[in-house]
Amino acid sequence: MRRIAVINQKGGVGKTTTCANLAHAFAMVGHRIGRNVLAVDLDPQGHLSTTLGNDAASAGVDALLADDSPLHDLTIQSRDGLALLGAGSRLADFEGLDAGLSRDTGLLGERLNDADTYDIVMIDCPPSSGFLGRSGIVAATEILIPVPGDYLAMVGLSSLLELLENIEAEIDRTLTKWIVVTRFDARRNHAREVYDKLREYFPDQLLHSVITESVALTESPSFGQSIFEYKGTSRSASEYAALARELIETGQETRKTA
């Protein structure tokens, strides 16, 4: 089972948009071949749930962590082949904990071990390095970092990679890391320069797929729809479908070389 945590400490980078649309793209492919996807809303704001048109306040990750509720009792079927584990109204409380449970960042991963009916788990992490963000990283086998085409995003990427290195040392495990350029505007010289720098510094981690800045991607969450439902013939839909195919292919290559 692949567990892909989508994370960036900087807000407004297209993190939740990427997690939601990738999860649906994986599900559309997987549903035809008998594979299932689970999307996990680890952000107390519940934006992943809202983006997919579901209730963010319903018991979800909060109950999974606090009450030891069975995973399958908390998931809802959001789309064909796509289940959702929402954030839950109590999830924000976990960031403020300073003892006991707050130190057990491996708990989420343990609870997700029950997700054996899913082939891919997508985890939408909050834009922070607190308990929930670290829990998402520890639970994952792969990290997907959305990076928009601007200089400040490059600066933030360095600190995030340093955090990931520290966590890898703590858990004694190497995480596969991918970078995807989001909110890209090819008309801007600066955006192209940032992309070239990413390609120079991270040739093995930077994915070929690029997500272009799009009004449709901004609008679709307000309808509770993925880009494939809102404007399935759009450039954005094609780009997220291509990103999903690329990640499927990288997963197959990883298994061959493992």
Quick: pLDDT tens for 46-70. 999 999 999 888 899 999 999 989 9
Return the top range by mean pLDDT from 90-104, 135-149, 178-192.
135-149
Q: Compute the distance between CA of residue 90 and CA of residue 5 in angstroms, rounded to an integer.
A: 21
**Containing H/E element for 61?**
helix 61-66
For the chain, the distance separating the N- and C-terminal CA atoms, rounded to the nearest angstrom, is: 14
Long-range (24+ apart) CB contacts under 8 A made by 231-240 are 236/21, 236/211, 236/212, 239/209, 239/210, 239/211, 239/212, 240/18, 240/21, 240/22, 240/25, 240/211
Task: Supply the pTM of this predicted model.
Answer: 0.93
Question: How high is the pLDDT of residue 30?
Answer: 78
Query: Based on the number of CB atoms within 10 Å of its own CB, is 200 exposed (0-12), middle (13-18) or buried (19 or more)?
Result: exposed
Amino acid identity for residue 36 in this structure: N
Burial of 53 (0-12, 13-18, 19+ CB in 10 A): middle
Q: What is the mean pLDDT of residues 219-243?
A: 97
99-126 pLDDT per residue, tens:
444 458 899 999 999 888 899 999 999 9
How many residues are given for the chain? 258
Contacts of 116 (CB under 8 A, 6+ apart): 1
